[in-house]
Structure 1
Amino acid sequence: MATIGLDRLYYAKITENENGEETYDTPVPLAKAISAELSVELAEATLYADDGAAEVVKEFQSGTLTLGVADIGVDAAEVLTGATLDDNKVLISTSEDGGAPVAIGFRAKKANGKYRYFWLYRVKFGIPATNLQTKGDSITFSTPTIEGTVMRRNKPDGQGKHPWKAEVSEDDPGVSPETITGWYTEVYEPVFAVGGGSE
């Protein structure tokens, strides 16, 4: 179903253990969302046998998340880009900056009024783009965009795989209300029954 809206943009800091496996801090609001564009790159291989394609493998390699936001506050800018506040509370960006990866959560309103919820488990952002324009005859809003690389997380799920995205629609059959109401209280962790089947 088509989506017609976007809101509740959150991020969660990541802490890695000695094996690089992630734990997530409590999610906090990032900014008022204007747009989110996610493009995905797949690693693809085709095995040919008997003059035709016998096997095709397509695996997630990485993705790009481009966020249009109303404003990125200094707290979020420090975490996402590695910029720092000086003693006068001025945000300073340097050539050596590099923010740590974070998890990004948001939701998109569907045409039926229900929402589709997302968590991207590991996103590393660059410096926000700033578009400025002089005031003319009409009002034009200039808002920042920030682009991040979406990666799989290091921590495996209950099936031994490395997820990069969690997605659910609140009106999907069998989705518990607790999954939706708890979406922003913590980064969603995949749940699998013992033996590998989904619950």
Structure 2
Amino acid sequence: MTKLVHGLDQFHIAVLTKDTKESVEYEAPQSLIGAVDVSVTPNVDSNTKYADNGAFAVLTNLSDIDVSMTVVDLPQDIQSLIFGQKQEGDVVFSSIDDQAVELALGFRAKIQDGGHRYYWLLKGKPELLPINHQTDEGNVESQDAQLNIKFMPLQHNGNWKAQMDSKTVTADKWFADVVYNKATADALVK
């Protein structure tokens, strides 16, 4: 059944602490209030094989996934967490030695039948946050934070995204843990 999807809320991030063939571990998800928009673009390399005087087959390979998210504000404590910045008193310093963490990004949208479409993108590396401000010029407009993240599949199982349409799963349950495999998905319906 076709469903109309609209809206966006409930940005969450979770730091990825381990990704091996044997296991995956995340820190507890943290909420980011003020979701404005998100764009997810999987990059696929393709090559057409020609035979018998025409296109015979297309070979495809997923490379990385470009994600751009806009939030009303990315608080300084979250910036420090994801970019590895150091705080000295009240001042936060960015350094060439900072190391951005790998993280999961979760969010949800509404669907027409009253439920929600939930997402987790499972392993991404954020790019440094640009600084963009402008004068008010006679009217006041907010200046949102836009974060770009390069996502890739997990080494553990090759998954890069979890997605679910539901009328019964709540945001509290979906965002309690990162949903990255069958066991974490099965826990949602118990």
Partner of 1:25: 27
CA contact 1:10–1:30 (8 Å) conserved in 2: yes
Aligned residue runs from structure 1 range 46-195, under 5 A:
46-86=48-88, 88-156=89-157, 162-171=158-167, 177=168, 182-191=173-182
Question: Match for 1:130: what amino acid?
Answer: I
Between the aligned partners of 2:90 and 2:22, the Cα distance in structure 1 is: 33
Between the aligned partners of 2:86 and 2:22, the Cα distance in structure 1 is: 25
Bigger shift: residues 30-39 or 12-21: 12-21
SS at match of 2:79: helix
Between the aligned partners of 2:181 and 2:130, the Cα distance in structure 1 is: 33
Question: What CA deviation, in whole Å up to 9, does each residue of 1:79-102 have, x standing for no partner?
Answer: 22222212x132211233231110
Between the aligned partners of 2:55 and 2:72, the Cα distance in structure 1 is: 48
Between the aligned partners of 1:14 and 1:118, the Cα distance in structure 2 is: 16
Question: Shift of residue 41 of structure 1?
Answer: 0.5
Between the aligned partners of 2:5 and 2:134, the Cα distance in structure 1 is: 30
**What is the root-mean-square deviation in Å for CA atoms of aligned residues?**
2.3
CA contact 1:12–1:103 (8 Å) conserved in 2: yes
CA contact 2:122–2:180 (8 Å) conserved in 1: no
Question: Shift of residue 146 of structure 1?
Answer: 0.8
Q: 2:38 aligns with which of 6, 22, 36?
A: 36
Between the aligned partners of 1:18 and 1:55, the Cα distance in structure 2 is: 33
TM-score, normalising length: structure 2 = 0.84
SS at match of 2:180: coil
Q: In percent, how many aligned pairs have the same letter?
A: 25
CA contact 1:38–1:64 (8 Å) conserved in 2: yes
Question: What CA deviation, in whole Å up to 9, does each residue of 1:22-50 have, x standing for no partner?
Answer: 31122111342111111120021322222
* Structure 1: runs of 5+ lacking an equivalent: 157-161, 172-176, 193-199
Between the aligned partners of 2:98 and 2:146, the Cα distance in structure 1 is: 18
SS at match of 1:4: strand
CA contact 1:20–1:154 (8 Å) conserved in 2: no
Partner of 2:188: none
Question: Shift of residue 136 of structure 1?
Answer: 2.4
Bigger shift: residues 65-74 or 76-85: 76-85
Question: Shift of residue 180 of structure 1?
Answer: 6.4
Between the aligned partners of 1:76 and 1:43, the Cα distance in structure 2 is: 33
Give the aligned length: 181
Bigger shift: residues 98-107 or 111-120: 111-120
SS at match of 1:79: helix
